[in-house]
Amino acid sequence: MNRPDGRALDVHRPVEMILGFHRNAEGSVLYRAGRTVVLCTASVEPTVPAWMMGKGAGWLTAEYQMHPRSSPARREPRDGRGKAPSGRTQEIQRLIGRALRAAIDLKHLGEQTIAIDCDVLEADGGTRTASITAGFVALALALDRMRAAGSLEAPVLRDQVAAISVGHLPGGLALDLVYTEDSSARVDMNVVATAVGSIVEVQATAEDEAIPRAELDRMTDLALAGVASLASAQHRALSSAGVDLSALFQTDRWRVA
Amino acid sequence: MNRPDGRALDVHRPVEMILGFHRNAEGSVLYRAGRTVVLCTASVEPTVPAWMMGKGAGWLTAEYQMHPRSSPARREPRDGRGKAPSGRTQEIQRLIGRALRAAIDLKHLGEQTIAIDCDVLEADGGTRTASITAGFVALALALDRMRAAGSLEAPVLRDQVAAISVGHLPGGLALDLVYTEDSSARVDMNVVATAVGSIVEVQATAEDEAIPRAELDRMTDLALAGVASLASAQHRALSSAGVDLSALFQTDRWRVA
Amino acid sequence: MNRPDGRALDVHRPVEMILGFHRNAEGSVLYRAGRTVVLCTASVEPTVPAWMMGKGAGWLTAEYQMHPRSSPARREPRDGRGKAPSGRTQEIQRLIGRALRAAIDLKHLGEQTIAIDCDVLEADGGTRTASITAGFVALALALDRMRAAGSLEAPVLRDQVAAISVGHLPGGLALDLVYTEDSSARVDMNVVATAVGSIVEVQATAEDEAIPRAELDRMTDLALAGVASLASAQHRALSSAGVDLSALFQTDRWRVA
Amino acid sequence: MNRPDGRALDVHRPVEMILGFHRNAEGSVLYRAGRTVVLCTASVEPTVPAWMMGKGAGWLTAEYQMHPRSSPARREPRDGRGKAPSGRTQEIQRLIGRALRAAIDLKHLGEQTIAIDCDVLEADGGTRTASITAGFVALALALDRMRAAGSLEAPVLRDQVAAISVGHLPGGLALDLVYTEDSSARVDMNVVATAVGSIVEVQATAEDEAIPRAELDRMTDLALAGVASLASAQHRALSSAGVDLSALFQTDRWRVA
Amino acid sequence: MNRPDGRALDVHRPVEMILGFHRNAEGSVLYRAGRTVVLCTASVEPTVPAWMMGKGAGWLTAEYQMHPRSSPARREPRDGRGKAPSGRTQEIQRLIGRALRAAIDLKHLGEQTIAIDCDVLEADGGTRTASITAGFVALALALDRMRAAGSLEAPVLRDQVAAISVGHLPGGLALDLVYTEDSSARVDMNVVATAVGSIVEVQATAEDEAIPRAELDRMTDLALAGVASLASAQHRALSSAGVDLSALFQTDRWRVA
Amino acid sequence: MNRPDGRALDVHRPVEMILGFHRNAEGSVLYRAGRTVVLCTASVEPTVPAWMMGKGAGWLTAEYQMHPRSSPARREPRDGRGKAPSGRTQEIQRLIGRALRAAIDLKHLGEQTIAIDCDVLEADGGTRTASITAGFVALALALDRMRAAGSLEAPVLRDQVAAISVGHLPGGLALDLVYTEDSSARVDMNVVATAVGSIVEVQATAEDEAIPRAELDRMTDLALAGVASLASAQHRALSSAGVDLSALFQTDRWRVA
């Protein structure tokens, strides 16, 4: 099978990251995977939502927004201009939040909130998984800044997290779908996992007919391989920016993939 | 491990269904699984959403709403009264819609819409999976009515669909969580599958730490066994109401679990 | 004149009540009058609205909602999904609240709120009056539960309240209109009254031409007879459920109709 | 009993009307009854709502709004600025619309809409009844303009309509309540009626305890006397402005009160 | 060039003011300039917005609303009824607020808010400038009332403020445009200034092509002459109502234009 | 006077532009002026708003949004998430739209819309003027693309437009204010003008006391010099990207500043 961008079925798009692209946020990355571009920022706020106050724990939340021209084909109305954020938007930002909360130990963060803003500038499939993978990088940059500033009592990072999609295409199982592949996939799966292959979240949806259990297992295998590769890319990018990821991890939690 | 209602870990709650409870809808069922009660109706509308018009295909959509007193503990504001439907509500009704669309062949439904309304009257965990399992029954009743009325050119049912939850509890993997179990689960999984064990949708979410891949596989096994049992219950209830499920299936698609 | 369901002009539809249908609420009833079905729940909340705090008195509020398929003819959008509750909905729930507040002595309720939720499952005319008549039953059940639990310092029930419609039809004055009658009535009247015939609320509306004063008086007479009959039905249903209505009344207020 | 403004119990406030106060609307009146001031305009629009199109009939609709400083005591937020029109607002404007639709024969209006805008500039009780009484005057002015312009095929006025309140006060039954009386009334009644005493709408609400049937009848008597007096005032004001009310009535419908 | 109402190019419409038209507000004026009519009220509230509390300073805010029939041509929906206040509405009420805040020294007002409500009853161009000119009069009346009541520690008025429009028409520069002139102007300028010609706000917008700098200067000259004339009219109207404007000014700030 | 970034009073911040930064839009630029960063895209849509259809002319519209972390100090809620776009947002995007519509001849654009999206990524004062200056560059890129694609019948560019702020600071008049200067300015002026110094829009607002007319004139002079310098920067950037600005201009309209 020929993929639109010539990749092998089990290879994800090459990833390019510009760390610190947004200069105001405590952590930020401009993340490009092919024609999908996401700007992720991590902002540290000195408070927690009302329902969490007084418990001593921290919080992490995420927002996701498509740029009106993120689609190559046409401009679409911006969320919040004459239309509320769609169910899809809310679903995605809840997913990003859960995925990144799994990466840190909120109990030891103190009463502060890390807000992850994911602005999809260009969209060619995989925007939610790109947001998670990039969101982790922005988060790590912010944690590094907090560590240096002494606003963390102890390391809070528990796991290195990334995400990728797998599709059940007519030509076989394929990693990291672009938009046209996504539209024709019988099943679309998104997997959030750790650098060493533990599962944070699995969402598999048959858009058309149900698939046998064994296919699901093969799709999971492929996704975990992709996550491991993205975790390496995160690691390299952070190292290049002078961030020692191991120093952010809780004792005994740092494991190289 | 002792479960709150004394069940074994691999047993779902007993299910009771009153078919035709709502007399106006083309299909309806009052579905009780322990202290979770859902009223599902299937209404047939002679049109499709604007973006589908002129394609000759049909549509199926779902709405989900909690009764203000669905919680045993306290009354909560109703969706749409001073607050928009929450992200959770939208996420659930999108899931119900996808799950039931997988059951039928929309291309052969003609330009009509089947609307599934799921009113959760009492909630004790598992309301989204109960809505899917009950929603399938309401859908089958409506299809039977349409068949009898001659408003279907050919059978459109492709699969028998049901759903169940599995939790990763401190005491082990457990089927069909009640509310208190759900709150303490490390991982919460919802599986929508067919009577013969094909996968329609999997959603597994680590609320706390990630879990090993092998655990995910065991959870899936347990869920599929639960779905098979619920499919039998659906079949029995429909038969008692005089509905021959096999007659609603497309040729060669009917398979007993 | 022949009525659609064969009743005499001065007879209301037979009423069926399932008390305790909703197991979480402090009081509940599934109320059926012909093809009109309302689920009423009464929930006790341990607080009052902000504008009432610190006065020592209690509050009673009501919400009313049509099920999307309450009409036999077609599904309609649910309140709060893309549309705010309509003026009609707000008008009705304000009426239900006023009617039931007239039944109790809020000053002696203590700072708690009783919330009456009226879900119209099936609608064939008379849904607002059915909500009031059923709402009283749910309220009495909740008061009985509160009395047994010792959360009432003294009885607070002041009057037994029910409601019914009367229409000015081409064939004469008719009690308890069904939908098709309601649509063709020259005047539609709703009367909320006590078991002994005192007036709580009267709403009479000429949909077409004004009517002579004498006609209004005859309509009121007919409505009060209907309310007395419904009050007997409430009494019987509560007795069957083991509720001694007289024990809930303030001293010297209990009077048999 | 002494009333705040020294009136006898059965006397309404003196009424002052400035016809044509708003120069753009087809009909308008600035209506003052004591410290209650309403600006009513009647605008003729050359179309009908979508659900009425093609039936050949006309429509009449009403909007009601309180000026932010209509209360002598304090400024209150304007409807639609951070808050939707309240249930009370919607209830009142629906009432005004029904009351004035009863006055005309919509079937012979042709496919045009008359919109009545009621802006309460100052409020001291009785704003909804003032809006109806003034609204009729604005309507009559607009009909006169339409008649002169030849945009009415035939007269469409069926009845002369006005409205007034009656209260059940500790000191007796009182006509046309001011705000402080309204707040202390056991029962508040609003009656819309024709110049010759036919009933268009009755709304009687016990704010506290129910009242005997006989009291209701006495309140109705008092209200009808008040409406007759207001109808005379409408007649005089229209005559002074050169409008011959009798010429606007359908044949055989004009009757002097 | 002939103007629609026969005025010379450098003359504004004659202005008529009825002070105290709205009896509840602390200050009010019904302001008519030709066919543009605005009712302005100034209400004093004993508090400030949350973000200003505890600073000891006061606030002034403005709201602007078009009456549904303010246009001679047709009725338009009211703000807040099915549509949020438009961008235009918000822009105008922000302008009015800024303009009138420039007139007073908020630091010495104490923690109270003056709310200016501008209801445009009839609109023929220039409604925003009429709202400012009339708003100043309502403000002065309220300040005079506060002074008399002793609720001002010292005078707070800093400048006398009025506003006017100038248009770049095909026939030359024209003062105080009516609606049809406004629509055909190449550039529309609104100037808020003090009685002695200092600039509070200038807004000049080329609706079509840009204009040379020299034209802008000439337009400003014309506007300042108009503002001076309106300031005299304000002064005369306030004097007639018994208000001594000079007594409201801070020491050394009162200057006759 | 020392400015926070060491500039002379009459010098604007150095400007950096990355043309084509957003690859999907027909025109785009990442525009940086000091710590103010705006991403502007120009999207061509093959239709016009409903109220313009059938007239043969085109339209240009603009949207403006602050990134939640555009402030260096703290994260702020995004427009449309629990809050409607603010009055400030609407005012700014209306300004941007007007400014850029002045640059082109809509009558000859054909029935298509150019949508300018301005996303303020980092904000340090001057975001609205940066949006206009950058918006012109994005527009020119889109027009060049349309010209090359043959979707323009004739050149439509009429003027080269840019914008800048001037402030009345304690130390004198200053060009291109940063945030802290803006907050302390007595008067804040924004000028939109053409490369050759014609005025498109002037907005000058005294935040505190009014200023003499002569000061206003000096501020305008300073602004026009700034606009001329920005126009040169636009020209250079477009040339570097291979765009010949003169070819986009209508005959006889191209003039070098």
Q: Which among F63, F67, F74 has CB closest to A68? A: F63
Percent of chain F predicted with pLDDT > 90: 89
Under the banding of pLDDT at 50, 70 and 90, the label for residue A1 is low
Residue numbers of chain E with a pLDDT score lower than 70 = 1, 256-257
3-state SS assignment for residue E120: strand
What is the structure's pLDDT at A94? 94
Strand partners, C226: none
pLDDT, one tens digit per residue, over C84-141 is 888 899 999 999 999 999 999 999 999 999 999 999 999 999 999 999 999 999 999 9
Contact A78 F35 (CB under 8 A): no
Name the phi and psi angles at D236, rounded to 5: -60, -45
What is the structure's pLDDT at C82? 76
Mean pLDDT of chain E: 94
Handedness of CA A194, A198, A200, A201 (dihedral sign): positive
| Confidence check: pLDDT of B209 > 90 | no
What is the structure's pLDDT at F254? 77
pLDDT, one tens digit per residue, over C218-253 is 999 999 999 999 999 999 999 999 999 999 999 888
Contact B115 C25 (CB under 8 A): no
Contact E90 F94 (CB under 8 A): no
Q: Where are the beta strands (DSSP E) in chain E?
A: 15-19, 27-33, 36-45, 59-66, 113-122, 161-169, 172-175, 187-194, 199-206
What is the structure's pLDDT at C252? 82
Distance (Å) from the C-alpha of residue C99 to the closest C-alpha of chain D?
8
E226 vs F contacts (CB less than 8 Å) = none
State the Cα–Cα distance between residues D95 and D91, nearest whole angstrom: 6
What is the structure's pLDDT at C257? 54
| Confidence check: pLDDT of D257 > 70 | no
Name the phi and psi angles at B196, rounded to 5: -105, 15
Q: The tokens of D84 are what?
A: 């939707």
Mean pLDDT of chain C: 95
What is the structure's pLDDT at D86? 86
Distance (Å) from the C-alpha of residue F51 to the closest C-alpha of chain E?
16
| Confidence check: pLDDT of B16 > 80 | yes
What is the structure's pLDDT at C1? 64
| Confidence check: pLDDT of B123 > 60 | yes
Under the banding of pLDDT at 50, 70 and 90, the label for residue B142 is very high
Under the banding of pLDDT at 50, 70 and 90, the label for residue C256 is low
| Confidence check: pLDDT of A210 > 80 | yes
| Confidence check: pLDDT of C188 > 70 | yes
Under the banding of pLDDT at 50, 70 and 90, the label for residue C217 is very high
Provide the b/e sequence for D91-109 (b: ≥16 CB within 10 Å).
bbbbbbbbbbbbbbbbebb
pLDDT, one tens digit per residue, over F96-141 is 999 999 999 999 999 999 999 999 999 999 999 999 999 999 999 9
pLDDT, one tens digit per residue, over C35-76 is 999 999 999 999 999 999 999 999 999 999 999 999 999 999
Distance (Å) from the C-alpha of residue C12 to the closest C-alpha of chain D?
21
Highest mean pLDDT: which of C28-32, F168-172, F183-187? C28-32
What is the structure's pLDDT at F213? 94
A123: nearest CA in chain F? F24
B93 vs A contacts (CB less than 8 Å) = 87
Q: Which among F158, F204, F213 has CB closest to E224? A: F213
Kindly state the average pLDDT of the residues F243-257: 85
What is the structure's pLDDT at C207? 80
Distance (Å) from the C-alpha of residue C17 to the closest C-alpha of chain D?
26
pLDDT, one tens digit per residue, over A13-68 is 999 999 999 999 999 999 999 999 999 999 999 999 999 999 999 999 999 999 99
What is the structure's pLDDT at D256? 62
Contact A216 B209 (CB under 8 A): no
Mean pLDDT of chain A: 95
Contact D80 E75 (CB under 8 A): no
Residue A7 annotated as binding site: no
CA distances from F182 to C6, F217, F219 (A): 79, 19, 14
Q: Which among A24, A39, A63 has CB closest to F81? A: A63
| Residue to test with chain D: of E75, E92, E94, E139, most D Cβ within 10 A | E75
Under the banding of pLDDT at 50, 70 and 90, the label for residue A198 is very high
Distance (Å) from the C-alpha of residue C108 to the closest C-alpha of chain D?
14
What is the structure's pLDDT at F73? 93
Kindly state the average pLDDT of the residues B166-190: 94
Position of tokens 């609303």? E65
Q: Which among B24, B74, B81 has CB closest to C71? A: B24
Name the phi and psi angles at C74, rounded to 5: -165, 160
Kindly state the average pLDDT of the residues C140-164: 95
Note the Cα C152 to chain centre separation in Å: 23
Contact F67 A119 (CB under 8 A): yes
Chain D contact partners (≥3 CB pairs within 8 A): C, E
Kindly state the average pLDDT of the residues C158-170: 96
Kindly state the average pLDDT of the residues B176-197: 95
Mean pLDDT of chain F: 94
Contact E213 F204 (CB under 8 A): no
pLDDT, one tens digit per residue, over B67-110 is 999 999 999 999 888 778 888 999 999 999 999 999 999 999 99
Contact E102 F209 (CB under 8 A): yes
F253: nearest CA in chain E? E209
A193: nearest CA in chain B? B210
What is the structure's pLDDT at D80? 82
D39 vs E contacts (CB less than 8 Å) = 121
Under the banding of pLDDT at 50, 70 and 90, the label for residue D2 is confident
Kindly state the average pLDDT of the residues F231-249: 96
Under the banding of pLDDT at 50, 70 and 90, the label for residue F250 is very high
ipTM of the complex: 0.89
CA distances from E147 to A224, E22, E152, E245, E255 (A): 76, 20, 6, 12, 20
Distance (Å) from the C-alpha of residue F86 to the closest C-alpha of chain A?
11
State the Cα–Cα distance between residues A218 and C40, nearest whole angstrom: 51
State the Cα–Cα distance between residues E214 and E206, nearest whole angstrom: 14
Percent of chain E predicted with pLDDT > 90: 89
A91 vs B contacts (CB less than 8 Å) = 87, 90-91, 94
Kindly state the average pLDDT of the residues B222-231: 97
Under the banding of pLDDT at 50, 70 and 90, the label for residue D102 is very high
A80 vs F contacts (CB less than 8 Å) = 78-81, 84-85
Domains assigned to chain F: 15-73+86-248 (3.30.230.70)
Which stretch of DSSP H or E encloses residue C63?
strand C59-66
What is the structure's pLDDT at B85? 85
State the Cα–Cα distance between residues C137 and E2, nearest whole angstrom: 76
Name the phi and psi angles at A118, rounded to 5: -115, 105
Position of tokens 């200038």? E202
pLDDT, one tens digit per residue, over E49-83 is 999 999 999 999 999 999 999 999 999 999 888 77
| Confidence check: pLDDT of F257 > 60 | no
Helices E213-240 and E127-149 meet at what angle, rounded to 10?
40
Kindly state the average pLDDT of the residues B46-57: 94
CA distances from F166 to A226, B123, C102, F205 (A): 53, 61, 66, 11
Q: Which among E91, E102, E208 has CB closest to F87? A: E91
What is the structure's pLDDT at A246? 92
What is the structure's pLDDT at A80? 82
What is the structure's pLDDT at B253? 85
| Residue to test with chain F: of A83, A121, A124, most F Cβ within 10 A | A121
What is the structure's pLDDT at B79? 87
What is the structure's pLDDT at E197? 95
DSSP C70-109: -SSS---PPTTSSSPPPHHHHHHHHHHHHHHHTTB-GGGS
Q: Which among E74, E81, E122 has CB closest to D45? A: E74
State the Cα–Cα distance between residues E102 and E157, nearest whole angstrom: 9
C23 vs B contacts (CB less than 8 Å) = 35, 37, 122
Percent of chain A predicted with pLDDT > 70: 99
Under the banding of pLDDT at 50, 70 and 90, the label for residue D174 is very high
pLDDT, one tens digit per residue, over B111-122 is 999 999 999 999
